[in-house]
Amino acid sequence: MVTLFIKHVLGINSNHDGLYGKTSAYYGTVEQQGHLTLHLHLLLWITNSLSPQEIRERMMDEKSDFQQRMVAYLEGSHKGEFIDQPMDSVINEVNFKSSNPTYKDPTQTLPKIPPPTCIHKGDEYCEQCKESNSWWQTFNDVVNDLLLKSNVHKCGNHCLVNGTCKARFPRPIIPKTKVDNNTGYIQIRKGESWINMYTPTLTYLLRSNSDVTSLLSGTALKAVIAYVTDYITKTPLKTYTIFQTIKDVFDRQSTIIGGSLKDQEKARKVLTSIVNSLTVKMEIGAPMAAAYILGNPDHYTSHRFQPVYWKSYVSKVLKSYDTVNANERIDLDHTEKLVLQKTKRGYSGYTPIMDYIYRSDIYKDVNLYDWIRLSRKSALPKEKIFKDTDDSNEDESETEHMTDIDTDINLAESDLENDTRVENEADQAETPKKKKTIDIRKLTFTKGHPQYGTHYTTIVKEEFGVVPNFTGGALPRSDSGDREFYCTTMLTLFKPWRTGLDLKDNQLTWDDAFHQHGFSNRQLQLMTFFNIRYECYDARDDYAKQRKAGYVAGVPSLMAEGDFDDVHNAQAHDDWDADEDRGNLMETEYAQVGNGTKNRMKQMEYMRSVLNGAGWLEKCENGNWCLPNSPIIEPKTKQGWTDVIQRKRQEILQLRENARQQMVGKDGKPPTKPPNWNQVELVDQSYLLKTYHTSHPEIGKMQEEVVKMFSLRPDQERAFRIIANHA
Question: What is residue 567's predicted lDDT score, i.e. its pLDDT?
Answer: 47
In this prediction, residue 407 has a pLDDT band, given cuts at 50, 70 and 90, of very low
Tens-digit pLDDT profile for residues 672-723: 555 555 566 666 666 666 667 666 778 888 888 888 888 888 888 878 887 7
How would you write 648-675 as a 3-class SS string?
HHHHHHHHHHHHHHHCCCCCCCCCCCCC
* Residue 346 Ramachandran class (φ > 0 left, ψ -120 to 50 alpha, else beta): left
3-state DSSP assignment of residue 286: helix
pLDDT above 90 coverage of the chain, percent: 28
Residue among 157, 163, 188 nearest 175 (CA): 188
Tens-digit pLDDT profile for residues 503-532: 998 889 999 999 999 999 999 999 988 887
Question: What is residue 147's predicted lDDT score, i.e. its pLDDT?
Answer: 94
Residue among 368, 373, 314 nearest 579 (CA): 314
pLDDT above 70 for 406: no
- By the 8 A CB rule, do 505 and 182 touch? no
- By the 8 A CB rule, do 54 and 112 touch? no
Higher pLDDT, 251 or 317: 317
Residue among 64, 70, 80, 352 nearest 193 (CA): 80
Question: What is residue 204's predicted lDDT score, i.e. its pLDDT?
Answer: 95
Per the DSSP assignment, residues forming a β-bridge with 21 are: 18
Residue among 481, 482, 307 nearest 410 (CA): 307
In this prediction, residue 628 has a pLDDT band, given cuts at 50, 70 and 90, of low
Question: What is residue 179's predicted lDDT score, i.e. its pLDDT?
Answer: 83
Number of H helices, E strands in the chain: 25, 14
Task: Give CA separation, 290 vs 35, 233, 284, in Å.
Answer: 15, 21, 10
Lateral strand order in the sheet of 38-46: 38-46, 23-32, 299-301
pTM for this predicted structure: 0.63
- Angle at which helices 483-494 and 521-549 pack, to 10 degrees? 130
Number of neighbours of residue 481 by Cβ within 10 angstroms? 12
pLDDT above 70 coverage of the chain, percent: 65
Number of neighbours of residue 380 by Cβ within 10 angstroms? 20
pLDDT above 90 for 89: yes
Residue among 357, 564, 336, 675 nearest 472 (CA): 336
The one-letter code for the residue type at 536 is: C
Number of neighbours of residue 665 by Cβ within 10 angstroms? 9
Lowest mean pLDDT among 85-89, 225-229, 361-365: 225-229
Tens-digit pLDDT profile for residues 551-602: 454 455 555 555 545 544 444 444 433 333 333 333 333 345 567 777 777 8
Question: What is residue 423's predicted lDDT score, i.e. its pLDDT?
Answer: 45
Per the DSSP assignment, residues forming a β-bridge with 504 are: none
Tens-digit pLDDT profile for residues 261-302: 566 666 667 777 776 666 666 667 788 888 888 888 988 999
Question: What is residue 574's predicted lDDT score, i.e. its pLDDT?
Answer: 41
Tens-digit pLDDT profile for residues 109-122: 999 999 888 777 76
- Angle at which helices 521-549 and 561-574 pack, to 10 degrees? 120
pLDDT above 50 for 255: yes
- By the 8 A CB rule, do 349 and 340 touch? yes
Per the DSSP assignment, residues forming a β-bridge with 469 are: 307
Radius of gyration (C-alpha) of the chain in whole angstroms: 36
Tens-digit pLDDT profile for residues 301-328: 999 999 999 999 999 999 888 665 544 4
| Dist CA 232 CA 223 (whole Å) | 14
pLDDT above 80 for 641: yes
- Out of 151-165, 173-187, 329-343, 449-463, the most confident range is 449-463
The one-letter code for the residue type at 389 is: T
Kindly provide the residue ranges of all beta strands, DSSP E only, lying in 364-519, ordered along the sequence: 375-379, 399-401, 455-459, 467-471
- By the 8 A CB rule, do 184 and 544 touch? no
Question: What is residue 687's predicted lDDT score, i.e. its pLDDT?
Answer: 67
Kindly provide the residue ranges of all beta strands, DSSP E only, lying in 584-721, ordered along the sequence: none
| Dist CA 104 CA 111 (whole Å) | 12
Question: What is residue 395's predicted lDDT score, i.e. its pLDDT?
Answer: 41
Listed by start position, the domains of the chain span 70-219, 305-475, 685-726
Lateral strand order in the sheet of 346-350: 346-350, 339-343, 399-401
User: What does 117-142 look like in DSSP terms, one character per residue?
Assistant: PPSSSS-TT-HHHHHHHHHHHHHHHH
Q: What is the mean pLDDT of residues 358-381?
A: 93
How would you write 492-525 as a 3-class SS string?
HHHCCCCCHHHCCCCCCCHHHHHHHCCCCHHHHH
Lowest mean pLDDT among 21-25, 69-73, 95-99, 432-436: 432-436
- Residue 507, class by beta-carbon neighbours within 10 Å (0-12 exposed, 13-18 middle, 19+ buried)? exposed
Residue among 421, 422, 411, 444 nearest 308 (CA): 411
Question: What is residue 711's predicted lDDT score, i.e. its pLDDT?
Answer: 86
Tens-digit pLDDT profile for residues 147-199: 999 999 988 877 887 788 888 888 889 999 888 777 677 888 999 999 999 99
Number of neighbours of residue 23 by Cβ within 10 angstroms? 19
343 φ, ψ (degrees, to nearest 5): -130, -175
What is the largest distance, in Å, between two alpha-carbon atoms of the chain? 119
Q: What is the mean pLDDT of residues 625-648?
A: 74
Contacts of residue 80, Cβ cutoff 8 Å, sequence gap at least 6: 171, 174, 188, 189, 190, 191, 192, 195, 196, 197, 198
Contacts of residue 361, Cβ cutoff 8 Å, sequence gap at least 6: 446
Residue among 355, 375, 363, 365 nearest 459 (CA): 375
